[in-house]
Every structure is written in C-alpha cells, then in structure tokens.
Amino acid sequence: MGFWSASRAAYLASAVLSAAGLPLSIYLISPTDLPQFCEIGSTLSCEAVIQSEYSKFLGIPLAAFGAVWFGSALLLSIAASAGLGVGRLLLYWSVLGVLGAVALVMVEVFLIGSICLLCTIAHAAGAGVFAAALLAHLWSQPPMTSG
C-alpha cells in the first residue's frame, strides 16, 4: 500500500470532516448568537431545537456528546491515515455516530417539530465521516479472486 493510497486519502477526508464538525459541535453546546439563517420560522429553528427539553441527556448538552464524537473521530482518522491499524474502529465509531444522528433527526422532526440547520450540517459531517471510513475500509481490503 503506497503512501498516497485511496484508503489513506479517505482517512484524511474523514479527518477533515471530523475537524469541521468539532468546532461546530463545540459552538452548539452554548451558542450566544445564532446566525440569521438558523431562524426561518418555526420549522427551521436552531433555537427551538437547542432550547428544547430534548437538547440534554443527564444534564449534558447533546452537542457536547457530538464534540466528543468528532474529537474521537478526528484522532482515529489521523491514526488510521498514519497506518496504525484503527480503521475498523473508526468505521464502527462512525456507524455509532450515524445512528445517533438519525435518532436526533427523528427527535427534531417528530418530537420538537423543528429542524436545526447547524445541527444538520454537523449530522452531514458525521455522515461524511462514515462514508469516508467505509470507503477506506473497502479500499484497504485485498482484491477478491475467483477460484
């Protein structure tokens, strides 16, 4: 496997997406001034989601869990791109993140009745981490032979 292999590029893409999601999640823990595009009526409202009763678990903002997830994904992505053999762990971690994001979107849509655009960007970054980790895993497998 070469230094600039396809799987290494995918791990680096995962690192970039994780690095993008981390500060966003940190910001969402306790935003002071939400951008105007976050408040477009009752259907698209970051404030409605962030201030809802569903925005915390055990008193901890859900965005804090997102920050921990992105931080861990960043470290795993960097380690995987360096060839440290944690690619499978990153893949499992990213599956956990996607399942969490799906649950959060369901809460936004069905329980809160409003979508947070900044949260959606974080969810998309998490989905991108999963896609990159999956591709890296697939590309790192030996070719299948018929026989």
Q: 6-31+38-52+62-139: which CATH architecture?
A: Up-down Bundle (1.20)
Domain limits, the chain = 6-31+38-52+62-139
Q: Which pLDDT score is estimated for 32?
A: 83
Q: Identify the helix (H) or strand (E) that includes residue 137.
A: helix 117-139
Q: Name the pLDDT band for 35 (thresholds 50, 70, 90).
A: confident
Overall average pLDDT of the 4-30 stretch: 95
pLDDT recorded at residue 115: 97
pLDDT at residue 19 greater than cutoff 80: yes
pLDDT of residue 143: 79
As a whole number of angstroms, the distance between CA 70 and CA 81 comes to 16
50-to-40, 73, 103, 104 alpha-carbon distances in Å: 15, 23, 15, 12
| pTM, two decimal places | 0.92
> Quick check: 36 and 126 in contact, CB under 8 A?
no
Per-residue model confidence as pLDDT tens digits over 68-119: 999 999 999 999 999 999 999 999 999 999 999 999 999 999 999 999 999 9
HSE-CB at 76 with a 13 A cutoff on CA atoms is 23
Contact 73, 99 (CB under 8 A): no
Assigned token pair, 67: 């920050």
Asked if residue 4 has pLDDT above 70, the reply is no
